[in-house]
Amino acid sequence: MKRFVLLILFIASLLTLSARNKALLVGVANYPEESGWCTLSSVRDVEKLGHAISSSFELTTLIDDKATYHGIISALEKMSSKAQKSDTIFIHFSCHGQQMLSNDCSEVDYLDEALIPFDAFSQETAFYKGECHLKDDVLSQYIQGIRYHVGSKGLV
């Protein structure tokens, strides 16, 4: 009986070891002047959070000019493709946010909520129509994909 209990404990520990903790930390503090966004203390937020969880999580950090729309999407795609059953995934954003008019008729208030990557502008212009705003619907698709990969025993 003692061997059986030890065998069960050993198997359980192996299953726990296969699950991984991964974190994506995104911080934009120093937006380009022409973007219209003011400076934040987001880099400090990401540094402190990263320091607090670095012993428990494998970190991916995107700071300022690395936290572009495509940089964030790429990191989310990579996280989704590498996520495994029972993993714990932590995603943190420290940046500006903004509501914007939605093209989606299903939005009750006709507004999308968006996080603001490094390369997004605060105002629509002749050359910028909001394409770098990270809209809630787009982010939700990536979160759902990650959630699917980690399964019912994983955490997102």
Residues 99-148 have pLDDT tens digits of 887 776 666 667 889 999 999 999 988 889 999 999 999 999 999 999 99
Mean pLDDT of the chain: 88
Q: What is the pLDDT of residues 63-95, one digit of tens each?
A: 999 999 999 999 999 999 999 999 999 999 999
Of all residues in the chain, what percent carry a pLDDT higher than 90? Answer: 74
For the entire predicted model, the pTM comes to: 0.84
Positions of E strands within 18-142: 21-27, 58-63, 88-94, 97-101, 111-115, 134-135
144/156 Cα distance (integer angstroms)? 9
